[in-house]
Amino acid sequence: MMNGTDRFGVIMAGGRGTRFWPLSTSAKPKQFLELLPGGTMLQLTADRLAGVCGRDNIMVVAGREHGGLVLDQLPWLDEENLLLEPVGRNTAPCIGWAASVLAERGQAEATMLVMASDHRIHPVEEFARTSGVAVSAAESGYLVTMGITPTHPATGYGYLEKGAEISEGVFRVKSFREKPDPDTARRFLETGTYLWNSGMFVWKVSGILKAIGKHMPGLLEGLAGLAGCTRPDRDTFSALPALSVDVGIMEKAGNVVVVPASFQWSDIGDWPGAREAGVSRGETVLVDSENTLVYDATGRLTVIMGLRNVSVVCTDTATLVMADSCAQKLREVSEKISEC
- Residues 290, 303, 335, 338: which binds a copy of itself (CB under 8 A)? 303
What whole-number distance in Å separates Cα of residue 45 and Cα of residue 30?
Answer: 13
What whole-number distance in Å separates Cα of residue 58 and Cα of residue 36?
Answer: 22
- Residues 22, 63, 96, 273: which binds a copy of itself (CB under 8 A)? 22
Element (H, E) at 313: strand 308-314
- Is residue 322 close enough to count as binding a copy of itself by CB under 8 A? yes
- Residues 167, 233, 321, 335: which binds a copy of itself (CB under 8 A)? 321
- Residues 179, 187, 214, 329: which binds a copy of itself (CB under 8 A)? 329
Binding mask 271-290 for a copy of itself (x = CB under 8 A): --------------x-xx--
- Is residue 312 close enough to count as binding a copy of itself by CB under 8 A? yes
Antiparallel, parallel or unpaired: β 264-266 and 120-122 = antiparallel
For the bound state, the minimum distance from the C-beta of residue 40 to a copy of itself, rounded and expressed in Å, comes to: 24
For the bound state, the minimum distance from the C-beta of residue 142 to a copy of itself, rounded and expressed in Å, comes to: 44
What whole-number distance in Å separates Cα of residue 34 and Cα of residue 10?
Answer: 20
- Residues 302, 331, 335, 339: which binds a copy of itself (CB under 8 A)? 302
Antiparallel, parallel or unpaired: β 143-148 and 256-260 = parallel
Of 96-104, 175-183, 215-223, 301-309, which segment contacts a copy of itself by CB under 8 A?
A: 301-309
Residue (of 76, 38, 42) closest to 56 by Cα position? 76
- Is residue 325 close enough to count as binding a copy of itself by CB under 8 A? yes
- Is residue 84 close enough to count as binding a copy of itself by CB under 8 A? no
- Residues 27, 166, 224, 318: which binds a copy of itself (CB under 8 A)? 318
For the bound state, the minimum distance from the C-beta of residue 33 to a copy of itself, rounded and expressed in Å, comes to: 18
For the bound state, the minimum distance from the C-beta of residue 15 to a copy of itself, rounded and expressed in Å, comes to: 21
Q: Which is nearer to a copy of itself, 33 or 101 (CB)?
A: 33
Q: Which is nearer to a copy of itself, 168 or 288 (CB)?
A: 288
Residue type, 21: W
Q: How far is CA 143 from the centre of its chain?
A: 17
Burial 238-252 (b: 16+ CB within 10 A, else e): eebbebbbbbbbbbe
What whole-number distance in Å separates Cα of residue 112 and Cα of residue 212?
Answer: 15
Asked if 146 and 171 touch (Cβ cutoff 8 Å), the reply is no
Within 8 A by CB and 6+ apart from 273, the residues are 266, 267, 327
- Residues 304, 335, 338, 339: which binds a copy of itself (CB under 8 A)? 304
- Residues 320, 331, 335, 339: which binds a copy of itself (CB under 8 A)? 320
What whole-number distance in Å separates Cα of residue 103 and Cα of residue 209?
Answer: 9
Asked if 198 and 147 touch (Cβ cutoff 8 Å), the reply is yes
- Is residue 27 close enough to count as binding a copy of itself by CB under 8 A? no
DSSP tag of 169: T
Which stretches of the chain bind a copy of itself, using CB under 8 A?
22, 285, 287-288, 296, 300-307, 310, 312, 314, 316-326, 329-330, 333, 337
